[in-house]
Amino acid sequence: MSRKTYQVIVRGRFAPLDDDQRARLLAKADEHDVFQARFTEDGTVTYERALLAFTFRCLVPATEEDRAEVVIGRAEALAAAAVRTLGAGSQDLSSVSTDLDDIKVRRRGP
């Protein structure tokens, strides 16, 4: 069975935050700046200090038979878990995935 890898971006909003959750997220905001974003199998969460929304980037391994809904479902579950680890909830998730095999790299000429 052939393996594939998808690059997935999940966007969502934080569930309503209490003062303690806001303080914890703000204390770690620099660690979750967009410049820290990486596509990894564990994924990375980024957010702004306004604490309205977040973005989660991850790589999802899959088989040739896995449909887009399965890949996105895995990514969204990872995103929700990552946000829970930060001490917050998530809502209104939307995702886009790209099969890494479909990405064409343009090489610069001499």
- Match domain 3-101 to its CATH number in 3.30.70, 3.30.110, 3.40.50, 3.30.460: 3.30.70
- Name the token pair of 91: 């809502």
Render pLDDT for 8-45 as a digit per residue (tens, 0 to 9). 999 999 999 999 999 999 999 999 998 888 999 999 99
Render pLDDT for 62-85 as a digit per residue (tens, 0 to 9). 988 888 899 999 999 999 999 999
C-alpha span between 83 and 105 (Å, rounded): 32
pTM of the model: 0.88
